[in-house]
């Protein structure tokens, strides 16, 4: 009884002592020595001078901590809020660190039973040494046993929020928050001797039996039971940048880092209902469990946790959500560590690889015995919307020092898990990605060298990237496993890709469903590719391996009821929509029957059950299964021409094991014969899609060998020759490739008229002909014999191409290859070919009356002259009698100017030889027909043209116009003869004296004006020349404009040129000279007539000038007496403008010279004002100005069309130009109408003379003659 009383007394003393160790701290407290009671609280933790066992620190409100508080060897230490009993978290007390020199916080060491409750700790930071490394933390608990953190917030600390070192016993963290703990970049550089300062995680649990840098350790760590319940890890960041001096271990774990270093045994980590949000680290952004050296019997369990929006602070890190694994160590191997993740979600995490989860393990050395493995088990967990470069959901692999081993210490299982909407967002090493092949080593779920087990129902759906990617590893599906791959998209293998020694292993009663998966290359569902070319078939097993786990059920081990269902899978190449294999033979050998029979490749997945039962939905008759190539076919026996630097499709066909064409999905390795100057272009060291690119000088030859790397060495050999660069391209001496000539700064490497390149074709300006001029049939087209020049109207056609902002440019594409025939197809109009497209193809002739000089078939050529009489001779005759009968005069001031413009307008060619289009075309056709009639051009419409004789050329049709002119001249002479000899014989002598009566002279004058211009125009057209220019503007030689195959003034050309020259000498040049120097000639003739009067009496016909005087006066009548020579000058104007066709070497120079001539003529007219009537002088100035504007508009429109297309400015200027062309025509019609009205009003029956018609010169001038 007495002992009981003693015990009670001691208990009372203990209670009294506990009550006496309550220390109160408040923001309203003081720092006096006696502070600490409830009535006199202290102001700060630094006011507590002595720490004792069983101490409870009760904090009210927000207090400031401005120094480091160290507490050592205390039992039963509690930090709590005065409002803890109220259970109102918002009223929790706050320890707000205000750190001078970033050095304040709380250190608890070698204590027991430590409790933090209802507290917020913020802003703390202490730099300290940990195994020789600098580290920053807010709170440090070292070698502390039995801890409780309840409703605690550790936030905004500089460094790690809470660092637990070698804690033991029961450690519970519940309903707490670790947020915004990080270390700024500036403080990372302030370590000793320039070393990096580590820290930044929310919570770091560091367990090690020895110093972490120790080389050996014989101790064993104390065990601990850690419970983290309902806790939030948010926005904590481990972001070390100084790579050279950092410790990789301290860069792990952004939210929670569990770091087991030396001999860590018997620890249990139970994490339930905890969220990891927006944390970052180099490894394990949300959380990491890392075993460094010899961890044994440790257990980590996560239940109903969430990892979301976690990321990696370094671009090449892994495990953004969670990372767990064992580092490499050659001593005793870590074993029997178990990580179980149950009902946990990984959502929207982002990283370089393993954005959701990273599992890494150590190799099992062959000479080491391992009794227990390490186990990682994921149950009913999900990975959704994670993004990464390589493996956005999961990656399982050996640690970086164990890659060269084949057995490992960790076994991983996934049970009832889902993987959906995870995305590969950028390429793995994009700078090293070759242009010729698909992307390698990327997948949503990646297994490297390990065997990963799957149990229950697992689903891979809607992932962008191959869903399951295995590299020299295995996926083992246990009995009863049901796996679905649905709506996944990948490059090679939409659902699954197996590389190297990889395979699917499975037991009976398993099922695989592949639905709506797609690949941008091959293997819509599954792709199997062996990357080792030296592996033999005997050492390589089928990618599908059945493991019989119940021998009693089936007679033979190789029979299985595993089912594979494929529905609506597809690949963009249309090959291997379901399965692609490098070779199918390894699977054939796996299914050898008891009798030794090898199944056929086409029957392996249909009638065999050794590897499973396969069902394919092949309603579209597509290729569901394909293998790598096994047999080459060369489709071309002749030499293959390849353009340097240009991608080329090889004439090869490769068949797979099932005789299917797999050329477009096979990669070849090219090689060239020794000593060849031809090189394979960089980026084409491997040939994919049958495409290759080579460099070298055109004309070089070699032998190209293509090898397929796989289980068999399959190859083909092709003879190749480097072809000439396509038109518009030149060979670059530096790269030995064809480059666009228009992009060269060196003008000696460019072509006139070629302005660019689009889609491997040169682009030329419309109005230009581009083609090859070869000296003989054996010469090959090349850049040195490519020439450009103006193209005659109707000879070339121009296909518009898209310019900037979708505008249509009046340019056209050249041929893809250096070929004269291909250039004819690209440039020439229908049925034309040759230099400047000037020749008709065989069986075709140039049609008469075609305004485009079209080449038509030789139909009805036999009756061509009948059509000629009806369409040419008959209209000329009708026009002549109309002019004479109606006394139409073309020699008044108005008529001179109107006819001058009407006749020359056709020569001005506002279409620039077809390079400029105007719509609607009917507007241009109307004025062309009306104006052309005054040039003896009738029915100049393609639809009314006809064949005159077989094989007729353009020069022939132009020469035929001479016939029309000669007929017109004969018509004039015949008419004069008829009046002189026939009519005069009937009417007597008086009629003979008046043979050149005024009205008849007017008609003859008008017809002579028309005939003169036509004769001049024909002569100059026959003498027109063109000067083709080669590379660098190199001059070729003068050729005939209307027949580029003829050299200028060659014997073939002379048969057309001589009549033209004779016409110029006898008629075209003398006639304006006579008109111009009429007065001088009259004086000379008068003196000669007096001196040689006897000749005149004997031969009266020598008085030619006097007899032609009425005709000459009719031309000179409208002009002032001192400017009568302007009658000849107007004809000289015509002569000079037409002569520009010969003088100008290109149509573009012609427009420039024409503008100069028109301006000079306009100035002469303005200074002289030669017409008698002022209105006629004004009309002359308006006509010349109008013509100059029309020509200027032509040049401007052509420039706009060539450079910018048919913009609003272009179309507006075209309509203005059309208005200027029609103005004279409308004015003439109005003038005729006005004159007819005036004539009716002035008509008198007493006047038997005909009234003057339009353009008649004045009566005074008529009477003077």
Per-residue model confidence as pLDDT tens digits over 838-849: 999 988 999 988
Nearest to 545 by CA among 451, 458, 446: 451
Domain at 708, CATH number: 2.60.40.1080
User: Is the domain of 907 the same as that of 761?
Assistant: no
Query: Which tokens in the block code for residue 439?
Result: 């992307």
Chain centroid offset of residue 900 CA: 54
Bond before 239 cis per omega within 30 degrees: no
DSSP string, 312-323: ESSTT-B-SSEE
Is 44 inside a domain boundary? yes
Is 1206 inside a domain boundary? yes
The pLDDT assigned to 889 comes to: 66
The pLDDT assigned to 127 comes to: 84
How many whole angstroms separate alpha carbon 478 and alpha carbon 458? 12
The pLDDT assigned to 1240 comes to: 62
Nearest to 106 by CA among 34, 57, 61: 57
Averaged pLDDT of the chain: 80
User: Is the domain of 816 the same as that of 781?
Assistant: yes
User: Is the domain of 824 the same as that of 900?
Assistant: no
* Residue 1042 contacts residue 955 (beta carbons within 8 Å): yes
Is the pLDDT at 658 greater than 50, yes or no? Answer: yes
How many whole angstroms separate alpha carbon 417 and alpha carbon 357? 13
User: Is the domain of 693 the same as that of 560?
Assistant: no
Is 733 inside a domain boundary? yes
How many whole angstroms separate alpha carbon 733 and alpha carbon 722? 14
More confident residue, 633 or 93: 93
Burial pattern 609-643, b for ≥16 Cβ within 10 A else e, equals bbbbebebeeeeebbbbbbbbbebeeeeeeeeebb
Q: What is the DSSP letter of 357?
A: E
The pLDDT assigned to 540 comes to: 55
Is 751 inside a domain boundary? yes
For the ranges 216-230, 245-259, 516-530, 1165-1179, which has the lowest average pLDDT? 245-259
Give the confidence band of 803 by pLDDT, cuts at 50, 70, 90. Answer: very low
User: Is the domain of 971 the same as that of 873?
Assistant: yes
User: Is the domain of 1014 the same as that of 1139?
Assistant: yes
The pLDDT assigned to 1264 comes to: 37
Is 1208 inside a domain boundary? yes
Is the pLDDT at 109 greater than 60, yes or no? Answer: yes
The pLDDT assigned to 1262 comes to: 35
Residue where a domain stops, chosen among 687, 722, 757? 722
Burial pattern 242-263, b for ≥16 Cβ within 10 A else e, equals eeebbbebbbbbbbbbbbbbbb
How many whole angstroms separate alpha carbon 759 and alpha carbon 751? 19
Per-residue pLDDT, averaged over 990-995, amounts to 43
User: Is the domain of 634 the same as that of 755?
Assistant: no
How many whole angstroms separate alpha carbon 1119 and alpha carbon 1113? 10
Is 11 inside a domain boundary? yes
Is 154 inside a domain boundary? no
- Highest mean pLDDT, choosing among 61-75, 243-257, 555-569, 997-1011: 61-75
pTM value is 0.63
User: Is the domain of 1135 the same as that of 1028?
Assistant: yes
Residue where a domain stops, chosen among 64, 88, 114? 64
Tens of pLDDT, residues 504-546: 999 999 999 999 999 988 889 999 887 544 444 444 578 888 8
Is the pLDDT at 908 greater than 80, yes or no? Answer: no
Q: 950 Cβ partners below 8 Å, 6+ apart?
A: 845, 858, 861
- Highest mean pLDDT, choosing among 218-227, 452-461, 1103-1112, 1144-1153: 452-461
Give the confidence band of 712 by pLDDT, cuts at 50, 70, 90. Answer: low
Tens of pLDDT, residues 955-977: 988 888 888 888 877 877 777 66
User: Is the domain of 503 the same as that of 599?
Assistant: yes
Query: Which tokens in the block code for residue 1061?
Result: 């020259």
User: Is the domain of 1084 the same as that of 1150?
Assistant: yes
User: Is the domain of 797 the same as that of 930?
Assistant: no
- Output the furthest CA–CA distance in the chain (Å, rounded): 190
Residue where a domain stops, chosen among 808, 829, 850? 829
Is 1135 inside a domain boundary? yes
Classify the C-alpha dihedral 997-1000-1006-1007 as positive or negative.
negative
DSSP string, 737-787: EEEEGGG-S-GGG--TTEEEEETTEEEEETTEEEEE--SSTTPPP-TTSEE
The count of domains in the chain is 5
User: Is the domain of 614 the same as that of 678?
Assistant: no
Task: Provide the residue range defining the domain that includes 1097.
Answer: 865-1241
The pLDDT assigned to 971 comes to: 79
- pLDDT exceeding 90 applies to what percent of the chain? 20
Per-residue pLDDT, averaged over 388-405, amounts to 80
The pLDDT assigned to 1249 comes to: 42
Tens of pLDDT, residues 1207-1254: 888 888 888 888 888 888 888 778 777 776 776 665 544 444 433 333
């Amino acid at each position: 009884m007495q002992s009981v009383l003693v015990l009670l007394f001691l208990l009372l003393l203990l209670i009294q002592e506990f009550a006496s160790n309550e220390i109160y701290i408040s923001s309203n407290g003081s720092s006096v020595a006696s502070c600490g009671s409830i009535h006199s609280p202290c102001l700060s933790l630094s006011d507590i001078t002595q720490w004792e066992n069983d101490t409870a620190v009760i904090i009210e409100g927000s207090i400031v901590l401005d120094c480091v508080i160290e507490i050592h060897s205390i039992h039963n230490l509690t930090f709590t809020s005065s409002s803890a009993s109220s259970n109102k978290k918002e009223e929790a007390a706050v320890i707000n660190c205000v750190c001078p020199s970033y050095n304040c916080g709380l250190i608890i060491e070698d204590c027991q039973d430590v409790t933090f409750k209802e507290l917020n700790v913020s802003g703390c930071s202490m730099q300290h040494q940990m195994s020789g490394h600098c580290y920053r933390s807010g709170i440090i608990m070292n070698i502390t046993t039995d801890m409780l953190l309840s409703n605690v917030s550790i936030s905004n600390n500089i460094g790690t929020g809470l660092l637990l070192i070698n804690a033991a016993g029961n450690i519970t963290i519940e309903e707490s928050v670790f947020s915004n703990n990080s270390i700024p970049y500036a403080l990372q550089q302030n370590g000793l001797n320039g070393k990096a300062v580590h820290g930044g995680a929310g919570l770091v649990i560091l367990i090690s039996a020895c110093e972490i840098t120790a080389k050996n350790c014989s101790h064993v760590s104390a065990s601990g039971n850690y419970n983290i319940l309902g806790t939030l890890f948010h926005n904590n960041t481990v972001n070390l940048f100084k790579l050279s001096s950092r410790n990789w271990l301290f860069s792990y774990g952004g939210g929670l880092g569990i770091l087991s270093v030396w001999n860590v045994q018997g620890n249990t980590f139970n994490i339930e209902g905890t969220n990891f949000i927006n944390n970052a680290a180099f490894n394990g952004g949300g959380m990491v469990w890392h075993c460094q050296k010899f961890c044994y019997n440790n257990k980590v369990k996560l239940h109903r946790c969430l990892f979301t929006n976690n990321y990696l602070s370094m671009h090449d890190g892994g495990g953004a959500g969670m990372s767990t694994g064992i580092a490499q160590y050659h001593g005793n191997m870590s074993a029997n560590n178990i990580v179980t993740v149950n009902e946990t979600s990984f959502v929207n995490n982002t990283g370089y690889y393993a954005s959701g989860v990273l599992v890494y393990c150590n190799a099992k050395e062959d000479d080491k015995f391992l009794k227990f493995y390490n186990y990682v088990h994921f149950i009913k967990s999900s990975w959704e919307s994670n993004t990464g470069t390589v493996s956005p959901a999961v990656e399982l692999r050996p640690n970086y020092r164990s890659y060269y081993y084949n057995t490992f210490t960790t076994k991983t299982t996934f049970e009832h898990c889902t993987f959906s909407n995870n995305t590969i967002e950028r390429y793995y090493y994009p700078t090293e990605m070759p242009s010729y092949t698909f992307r390698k080593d990327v997948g949503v779920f990646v297994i490297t060298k390990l065997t990963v087990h799957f149990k229950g129902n697992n689903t891979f759906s809607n992932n962008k990237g191959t869903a399951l990617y295995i590299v020299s590893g295995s996926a083992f599906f246990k009995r009863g496993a049901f796996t679905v791959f649905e709506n996944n998209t990948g490059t090679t293998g939409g659902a699954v890709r197996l590389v190297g020694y990889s395979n699917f292993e499975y037991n009976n009663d398993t099922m695989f469903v592949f639905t709506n998966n797609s690949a941008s290359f091959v293997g819509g569902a599954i792709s199997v590719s062996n990357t080792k070319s030296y592996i033999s078939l005997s050492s390589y097993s089928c990618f599908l391996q059945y493991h019989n786990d119940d021998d009693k059920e089936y007679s033979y081990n190789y029979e299985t009821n595993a089912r594979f269902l494929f529905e609506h899978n597809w690949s963009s190449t249309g090959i291997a929509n379901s399965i692609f294999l490098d070779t199918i033979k390894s699977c054939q050998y796996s299914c050898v029957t008891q009798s030794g029979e090898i199944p056929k490749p086409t029957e392996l997945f249909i009638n065999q059950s050794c590897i499973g039962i396969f069902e394919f939905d092949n309603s579209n008759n597509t290729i569901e299964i394909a293998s790598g190539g096994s047999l080459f076919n060369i489709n071309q026996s002749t030499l293959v021409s390849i353009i340097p630097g240009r991608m080329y499709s090889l004439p090869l066909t490769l068949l797979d094991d099932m005789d299917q064409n797999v050329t477009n999905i096979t990669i070849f390795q090219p090689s060239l014969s020794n000593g060849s100057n031809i090189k394979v272009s960089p980026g084409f060291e491997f040939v994919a899609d049958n495409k290759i690119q080579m460099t070298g000088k055109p004309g070089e030859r070699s032998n190209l060998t293509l090898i397929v790397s796989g289980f068999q060495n399959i190859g083909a050999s092709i003879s190749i020759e480097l072809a000439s660069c396509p038109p518009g391209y030149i060979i670059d001496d530096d790269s030995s490739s064809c480059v666009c000539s228009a992009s060269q700064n060196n003008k000696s490497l460019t072509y006139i008229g070629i302005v660019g390149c689009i889609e491997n074709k040169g682009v030329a300006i419309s109005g230009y002909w581009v083609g090859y001029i070869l000296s003989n049939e054996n010469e090959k087209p090349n850049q040195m014999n490519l020439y450009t020049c103006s193209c005659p109207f109707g000879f070339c056609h121009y296909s518009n191409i898209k310019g900037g902002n979708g505008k249509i440019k009046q340019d056209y594409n050249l041929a893809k290859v250096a070929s004269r025939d291909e250039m004819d197809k690209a440039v020439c109009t229908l049925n034309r070919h040759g230099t400047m497209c000037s020749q008709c193809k065989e069986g075709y002739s140039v049609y008469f009356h075609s305004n485009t000089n079209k080449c038509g078939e030789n139909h009805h050529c036999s009756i061509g002259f009948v059509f000629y009489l009806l369409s040419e001779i008959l209209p000329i005759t009708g026009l002549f009698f109309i002019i004479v009968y109606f006394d139409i005069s073309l020699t008044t001031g108005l008529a001179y100017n109107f006819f001058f413009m009407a006749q020359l307008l056709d020569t001005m060619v506002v279409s620039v030889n077809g390079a400029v289009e105007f719509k609607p075309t009917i507007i241009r056709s109307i004025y062309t027909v009306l104006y052309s009639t005054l040039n003896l051009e009738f029915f100049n419409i393609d639809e009314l043209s006809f064949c005159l004789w077989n094989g007729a050329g353009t020069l022939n049709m132009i020469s035929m116009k001479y016939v029309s002119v000669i007929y017109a001249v004969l018509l004039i002479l015949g008419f004069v003869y008829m009046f002189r000899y026939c009519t005069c014989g009937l009417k007597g002598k008086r009629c003979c004296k008046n043979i050149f009566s005024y009205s008849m002279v007017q008609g003859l004058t008008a017809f002579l004006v028309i005939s003169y211009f036509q004769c001049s125009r024909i002569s100059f057209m026959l003498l027109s020349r063109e000067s083709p220019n080669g590379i660098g503007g190199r001059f070729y030689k003068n050729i005939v404009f209307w027949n580029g195959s003829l050299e200028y003034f060659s014997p073939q050309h002379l048969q057309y040129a001589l009549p033209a020259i004779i016409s110029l000498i006898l008629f075209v040049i003398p006639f304006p000279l006579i008109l111009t120097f009429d007065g001088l000639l009259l004086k000379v003739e008068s003196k000669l007539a007096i001196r040689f009067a006897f000749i005149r009496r004997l031969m009266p016909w020598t008085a030619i000038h006097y007899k032609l005087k009425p005709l000459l006066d009719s031309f000179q009548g409208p002009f002032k007496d001192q400017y009568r020579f302007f009658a000849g000058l107007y004809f000289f104007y015509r002569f000079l403008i037409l002569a520009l066709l010969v003088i100008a070497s290109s149509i573009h120079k012609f427009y420039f010279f024409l503008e100069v001539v028109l301006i000079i003529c306009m100035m002469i007219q303005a200074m002289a004002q030669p017409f008698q009537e002022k209105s006629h002088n004004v009309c002359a100035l308006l006509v010349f100005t109008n013509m100059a504007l029309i020509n200027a508009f032509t040049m401007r429109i052509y420039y706009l069309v060539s450079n910018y297309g048919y913009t609003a400015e272009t179309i507006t200027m075209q309509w203005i130009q059309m208005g200027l062309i029609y103005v004279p025509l409308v004015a003439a019609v109005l003038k005729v109408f006005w004159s007819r009205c005036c004539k009716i009003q002035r008509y008198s029956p007493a006047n038997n003379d005909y009234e003057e018609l339009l353009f008649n010169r004045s009566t005074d001038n008529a009477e003077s003659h």
